[in-house]
Amino acid sequence: MTKFRVRVSTGEAFGAGTWDKVFVSIVGTRGESPPLPLDHLGKEFTAGAEEDFEVTLPQDVGQVLLLRVHKVPPALPRLLGTLDPDAWFCRWFQLTPPGGASLRFPCYQWLEGTRNLVLREGAAKLSRADQHPKLQKQRQEELQARQEMYHWKTYIPGWPHCLDEATVKDLDLNTKYSTAKNIHFYLRGGSALTELRIKGLLDRKGLWRSLTEMRRILNFRKTSAAEYAFEHWQEDTFFASQFLNGFNPVLIRRCRSLPKNFPVTDAMVAPVLGPGTSLQTELERGSLFLVDHGILSGIRTNIINGRPQFSAAPMTLLYQRPGCGPLLPLAIQLSQTPGPNSPIFLPSDDKWDWLLAKTWVRNAEFSFHEALTHLLHAHLLPEVFAMATLRQLPHCHPLFKSTGLGIGGFSELIQRNMEQLNYSVLCLPEDIRTRGVEDIPGYYFRDDGLQVWDAVERFVSEIISIYYPSDVSVQDDAELQAWVREIFSEGFLRKESSGVPSSLETREALVRYVTMVIFTCSAMHSAISSGQFDACAWMPNLPPTMQLPPPTSKGRARPEGFIATLPPVNATCDVAIALWLLSKEPGEQRPLGTYPDEHFTEEAPRQSITAFQRRLAQISRDIRERNQGLALPYTYLDPPLIENSVAI
């Protein structure tokens, strides 16, 4: 008979403890023990507790390979009936054989009801490193069970595929918000709804009476960035700066030749360019930039309060003054088809003509961002990455461990963008080069994003080098290749034109791919999600919908017409509340580089994690020092404010 000491750690989350009985079976090279009870008087497995037990094996099972965990409700007298299923969040088991070193078995999962679970010692291993048949069988059975639990479905044709569940309530505890986070989220949403209803705004379907009245929505929740937008929203420099550091900083690109359907002339832009230069000269210098919302052309629009809404597909030409002068708008055309009914608006036009044109561009920014930059790139694709990880990588795999338009218009936009989506867009350094914006000054999204990308890439490279000694080891990892293949087929719908790989041949390609996945699900989501409320709190800066069609001539815009074009009161409130919730992490924040779940037990990856955290801390210090000199600090890529993954 052999005695083992067993230490069990229960999570600290609300409801993490359990009254259920827990048994363990120790699986070794020579056999498997029967289920052995972990039993004390009173309630075991209290939230936040680490508890010690001793179990006696009737026979020697040899070298320990696996730990099988059995959780069952306590037996009760028949008259008392049965208890409701009791969930338990187990952090880890630690097994100490007589005279031997302790073995840590990471779990970090909820076990609901009657449940059996097989755990492995915490060292990360590729399948080729598992020589014993029992370990190989466990890998296969774990993936088979997850593939039976998590199924793909087509939500809308042309969209990335997603998890086949009808509602959030159908998710298991390991894939939904914790109870505390859920309560926090709904309390915040409920308080916002109540406040705006008491103010008489939430259910009011009419127009705003004036720009002054709109200030009431700004007072609903204040941020320093929202206040700055209110004070500067009409200024050309602020309008242009939002293409660099606003909530959609991914569209601006250097313009080397004017599009044929954007017939800007020298005479139009001379007041801004000044004497001694021309459009052609500035094009050759590389000082002109273009933001093209052409993908919105002809898109379906929504109906709000019984009224059809309108959209535009504008083109905006911008000019970077020599030296470090501010970026300025030169010209705006509100459609993709030039002509007498599609004038080119200029800073020299009447104040209200020019302001209305800029506001239409901001509305296009809202539509493009919410459907594509945010929903598609920061939610639908990360869901694909997560699903493929659950279905194709076992817990012991090193990558598992480190890792205003209506729905019709949104659907159409996503379908269009999926046809042109390219792998390079998801890899920030390449995207910056492709758009030709490597040297435009004051582009803090680029500066901070590249620093974070580099830190993630170095971390990933270190982890990959530990477990993949050669390119051949990458090619031979069947689980890794199945993961990549499933992302390509389910997320990118097998489109070869996307440039997204369906297999990986080298360690360099693997580092790039994993860096892209981590960056997309963490830093990129933070950059394009955290600033949503800051941009929209003063609604004229980012109107979610427009109630009148775009102007077809100049000289007719008036203050009352400007207000009549903007969203109605109730739509303004609905979007403000939604973006307030979407911009704020609902509790239990886990910043990038923070791994409270200790899946790695080896020293080498733990050292890489520590080095990664040091790099992120230095990036944060640099960002905060720079921000002290900015009138509007850029904080969305400050590492302590970046979530480890998409959490809202």
Determine whether the annotation assigns residue 189 to a binding site: no
Q: Which residues pair with 319 in a beta bridge?
A: 288, 328
Q: 107 is written with which tokens?
A: 């779990």
> What six digits make up the tokens of 224?
């320093």
Here the tokens at position 423 are 């792998």
- Give the helix/strand (H/E) hosting 604: helix 603-627
436-442's contacts with Cβ under 8 Å and 24+ in sequence apart are 436/253, 436/254, 436/256, 436/286, 437/252, 437/253, 437/254, 437/289, 440/244, 440/252, 440/254, 440/289, 440/320, 440/327, 441/320, 441/324, 442/241, 442/244, 442/245, 442/324, 442/326, 442/327
Q: Is 528 annotated as a binding residue?
A: no
CA 558 to CA 360: how far, in whole Å?
Answer: 15
Tell me if 379 is assigned to a ligand binding site: yes
The residues, ordered by sequence, that sit 6+ positions from 335 with a Cβ below 8 Å of its Cβ are 297, 312, 313, 314, 342, 550
**Hey, which residues does 117 pair with through a beta bridge?**
69
Outline where 437-584 has alpha helix (H).
Answer: 444-467, 471-475, 478-486, 507-519, 525-529, 532-536, 559-565, 569-583
Task: Determine the Cα–Cα distance for residues 9 and 597; give it in Å rounded to an integer.
Answer: 12
User: Would you call 254 helix, strand, or coil by DSSP?
Assistant: strand
Q: Token pair for residue 362? A: 């901001």
CB 327 within 8 A of CB 244: yes
How is residue 286 written in tokens?
A: 């590389």
- Which pair of tokens denotes residue 271? 């007041």
- Between CA 414 and CA 377 the distance in angstroms is 10
- 161 annotated among ligand-binding-site residues: no
Q: Is 164 annotated as a binding residue?
A: no
Contacts of 93 (CB under 8 A, 6+ apart): 6, 7, 8, 9, 24, 67, 69, 104, 105, 107, 119
CB burial of 280-292 (b: ≥16 within 10 Å; e: otherwise) equals eebeeeebbbbbb
Tell me the H-state helices in 201-340.
211-218, 224-232, 236-245, 266-273, 279-285
Asked if residues 80 and 49 have their Cβ atoms less than 8 Å apart, the reply is no
* Residue in the block written with tokens 């002054």: 212
15 annotated binding-site participant: yes
Q: Is 86 annotated as a binding residue?
A: yes
CA distances from 200 to 137, 196, 197, 203 (A): 63, 6, 5, 7
Within its chain, how far is the Cα of 225 from the centroid?
21
The response to whether 293 counts as a known ligand-binding position is no
648 annotated binding-site participant: yes
Q: Find residue 317's DSSP bridge partners.
A: 290, 331
| Nearest to 162, CA basis, from 439, 432, 388, 430 | 388
CA distances from 240 to 236, 289, 315, 434 (A): 6, 10, 13, 20
556 and 361 Cβ atoms separated by less than 8 Å: no
> Annotated binding site: which residue ranges?
15, 17, 39, 86-87, 374, 379, 525, 648
> Annotated binding site for Ca(2+): which residue ranges?
15, 17, 39, 86-87
> Annotated binding site for Fe cation: which residue ranges?
374, 379, 525, 648
